[in-house]
Amino acid sequence: MPLLLGDIVPDFTADTTLGPISFHDWIGDDWAFFFSHPADFTPVCTTEMGRTSQLSAEFDKRGVKPIGLSTDTVDEHLKWIEDVNDTQNTRLRFPIVADPDLKIARLYDMIHPAQSETAAVRSVFIIDNAKKLRLTMTYPMSVGRNFDEILRVIDALKTGDAMGVALPADWRPGDEVIIPTSIDDVAAKGLFPQGWTTHRPYLRTTRLQD
């Protein structure tokens, strides 16, 4: 069965570059950015691992733990990290899951046979602290991920959770937000005392107060 938004993601135990983990325990009270790669020592994957490492402070301040997966062994991962650090001018510290038997890749539907029978496509899973899947994206093997979008959607999800709002196209922190249609004007007055603009009965926008 495919993973659906709102599902509790499957737990698993695995060896990683930072030692064995139980996935749900590893997430703990944080969120997780779980992302897969076709193979070690491949060019696009190397840039993605490097970019994740370069953005470690951005993930930290959002309370999000990155964790990668490639269908190779821990020993291969550790050798590959040396290349990532050297070519991408970083020091990679987050864990990379070893999955040489494809067990986790299949559990998370990362194997797309039209792309490869033995390598994982570029899957993205944003998982919250309740271990629920909040967003998933799948990129082809030849195209690297957009990390600006990954951080943007984490900000949007967390803002929506905290403030009870919806977020419009291309939203970034500081932009106007949308008051959901489930909140009527009477309730909105208490929740959004700063007021709002009614563009249509179903479209009301406001700016969040600092």
Active-site residue numbers?
Answer: 45
Q: In what order do the strands lie in the sheet with 133-139?
A: 96-98, 64-70, 31-37, 122-127, 133-139
DSSP 170-203: T--TTS-EE--TTS-HHHHHHH-TT--EEEETTE
Evaluate whether 90 touches 53 at the Cβ level (below 8 Å).
Answer: yes
Evaluate whether 164 touches 191 at the Cβ level (below 8 Å).
Answer: yes
Residue with tokens 């990129």: 139
